[in-house]
Amino acid sequence: MEAEPGGGRRFRDPGVRLWHFAREILVRCPRCDARALVAVHPGHRDGHTYAVGWLTAPHRLTCPACGHVAAWTPQRWRVGAGDAYFTPRGVLAVPAFGGADDPYFGLPLWLRRSCCGRVLWAYNAAHLELLEAYAAATLRERPRPAGSQSMLERLPAWMKSAGNRAEVLAAIRALRDAA
């Protein structure tokens, strides 16, 4: 982010997608409600050419507070199950990303807070950092080439509104303290 004449902040959308932040997702432990982590299973080799390979890889939930561990395995794709990923193991369903619950276990995200009558959420600290830089900017530039797939381009209008900037930034700062 760069400073603009007159004290504004300039931000250029890096063009990342939401799934870029899905390698590590902070969630509430279903057993003790402490901060837990959802990540690709450590025994899984990450030799995928495309991100969809690790998005559909086995994942593990681990809670350092109570020791709870759970495993998620990729589901076979079926009609109505979302996007399909064709692999030597068969056709797998790609998890649906977006919303205040994690896409693997359906657990509430650790980084979520009421804001502007809605829920502001992030998968992890890096995701929160990008949201903060975007919300703080008074001049926002689209990625080149521009498209409709950038995570920031797809944010809801209430998060993009200059009128909500102070409340959005306050919620992000509170979440950052919890990260």
Model confidence pLDDT, tens digit, residues 107-144: 999 999 999 999 999 999 999 999 999 999 999 998 77
Task: Return the pLDDT at 4.
Answer: 47
pLDDT class of 104 with cuts at 50, 70, 90? very high
Task: Return the pLDDT at 48.
Answer: 58
Token reading at 39:
């990540």
Q: Is the pLDDT of residue 49 over 70?
A: no
C-alpha distances out from residue 105 to 6, 68, 101, Å? 46, 13, 8
* Nearest one of 165, 98, 157, 110 to 134, comparing CA atoms: 165
Token reading at 3:
């400073």
Q: How far, in whole angstroms, is CA 66 from its chain's centroid?
A: 24
pLDDT class of 179 with cuts at 50, 70, 90? confident
Angle at 149 between CA 147 and CA 152, to 5 degrees: 95
pLDDT (tens digit per residue) in 12-33? 999 899 999 998 999 999 999 9
* Domain around 84: 2-178
| Residue 161 near residue 169, CB atoms below 8 Å | no
Higher pLDDT, residue 148 or 64: 64
Q: Given the structure tokens 């995570």, which residue do they identify? A: 151
Task: Return the pLDDT at 45.
Answer: 63
Which of helix, strand or coil describes residue 100?
coil
Averaged over 166-171, what is the pLDDT?
98
Q: What are phi and psi of 96, to 5 degrees?
A: -85, 120
Domain count, the chain: 1
Model pTM score: 0.88
Task: Return the pLDDT at 146.
Answer: 61
Bridge-based pairing state of the strands 9-12 and 139-141: parallel
